[in-house]
Amino acid sequence: MAIPVDRRTVLPVRKRATEVSVVTARRSSPSRGRRRPPPRTVPVAGIVGLGHMGLVTGLAFSAHGLNVVGYDISPELGKQIARGSAPFAEEGLAKLLRQELSRGRFRVVPSLDALAAEAECLFLCVPTPSQPDGRINLGPLEQSARAVATALRSVTSPRVVVVKSTVVPGTTEGMVAPLVRSVAGKSPEEIGIASNPEFLSEGTVVRDALRPARVVIGASDARSLAWLRRAYRDFGAPVHALSPSGAELVKYLSNSFLALKVSFANEAARLADRLGVHIDRVMEAVGSDPRIGGSFLRAGPGFGGSCFDKDVRALAVRSSDLGLGLKLPRAALDVNDDQLEYVIDRIDTSLGGLKGARLALLGLAFKAGTEDVRESRALPIAERLLERGATVRAHDPAAAKSFARAWSERTPKGAAGLTIVPSIEHAIEGADAAILQADWPQYLRWPARWSRKMRRPLLIDLRRAVPVEVARRAGLSLVGLGDGTDVKNVADVPRAAP
């Protein structure tokens, strides 16, 4: 059956970065007396905070056709970005930044006043770090919201303020909305407020921002929802519209559930070691069930990064504040802490003791593909190894400087026994064992000459990433976390033959 076609259907054709004209599908000229629809202006988004999340968010909007103006409280950072120099390492970021700057769709402005004057929608993309009690520190968000509101006092046209930062449910409506409107002296009709959480994974943030799996919008008014739907219409992702608190809860539950999957796999790895089976084969079969799925079921030394630990702790505390005291978030955290001790015990047993051992710690970022060391397992692993009498040479192809800063903050009085070295060969020279903490590709090729440099050619692979055949060719004894190896039988590994 033929489907009738309305030849008057309009199709958008982008001509310039600042203007989209509308033409008809019919090639003939329009009827006399019929006026052409007026050109539609491209939405202007403002990004407040150009860190890991803010910069990539702004560039994604720009790449999908919006005009974007960005501002950061650090003038140096703003100038660096305006020059086209990416401030942190992420695959594809430098290229995307240069592309959008050259197109003129992404610009850095020197003040919030300039941003507020142009941007119809202002995204708050500032950090919400964890505090010792597990609650998030809302100080940066409060300061940012207050500064934005001050800049909006002189703006006469309606604006939308969106909380992109990760905040516990109730923050957008309970803190940000009344603060912004009070300081700006504006009504809800003049300033809409919404939540729009991010779902970016470090190492793939550019891909995740450009092609998100879903978009979650928490808006309490129709105008804010409409603006955000329009901003995301070319992203090709399903949009879930909720209340602001509902959107905030989606973010926390998503990360908590993923953390639970990681902790489940890590506990299962301990059982696999005891039973002498390989955890990856087991979890591959478990994850093949579509009801479960295989993502985040790869056992390792524990979850890290800027999100999981912080968000799970905040959810646990928030639930307690509400009189619930959810058990699963705390269980995920407890298993993560226990996994660290299991890792250290497995290393200790593999070597027959750590006192006097010389070790190479390979991979200092919380995972390969990023320079981020926040909550990296490499930090507490190094601490525990030193406490048990080992000396450590540490290496990472991208995160060495970040790790050095974090280590100095963690051990302000200094901790003798740890040295960060510039090369893999320097790290493993004369080592009793190497410990693979982050599975960078550089480590996985492991040539035989590396084994010959070690006092004992033993690799304790916390990610099970080095192929067995590669280790065999290199004369390298391999102990994996969750690979079922009986570590009591590898304590006296002989030196590799030259």
Could you tell me which residues are beta bridge partners of residue 240? 216
Radius of gyration in angstroms for the set of CA atoms belonging to the chain, rounded to a whole number? 26
CA atoms of 204 and 212, how far apart (whole Å): 11
Structure tokens at 288: 């093949």
CA atoms of 232 and 215, how far apart (whole Å): 8
Q: How far is CA 24 from CA 3, 30, 395, 471, in A?
A: 19, 8, 60, 64
Contact 357, 431 (CB under 8 A): no
CA atoms of 310 and 307, how far apart (whole Å): 5
Tell me, yes or no, if 307 is annotated catalytic. Answer: yes
Which residues, 6+ apart, have CB-to-CB distance to 437 below 8 Å?
301, 361, 362, 363, 364, 376, 377, 378, 381, 462, 463
Structure tokens at 322: 């509400």
Could you tell me which residues are beta bridge partners of residue 41? 19
For the chain, what is the total number of helices (H) and then of strands (E)? 19, 17
CA atoms of 432 and 351, how far apart (whole Å): 8
Contact 74, 99 (CB under 8 A): no
Contact 239, 247 (CB under 8 A): no
Choice among 307, 365, 471, 479 that is catalytic: 307
Tell me 489's DSSP state. G
CB-CB neighbours of 458 under 10 Å: 24
Task: Annotate 424-468 with DSSP letters as a single string.
Answer: HHHHHTT-SEEEE-S--HHHHS--HHHHHHSSS-EEEETT--S-H
CA atoms of 228 and 51, how far apart (whole Å): 21
Q: Specify the residue for token string 């740890």.
A: 418
Residue 434: phi and psi, rounded to 5, are -110, 145
Taking the CA atoms of residue 218, residue 221, residue 223 and residue 227 in that order, the dihedral angle to the nearest 10 degrees is: 0
The amino acid that residue 201 corresponds to is S
Q: Which residues are catalytic?
A: 307
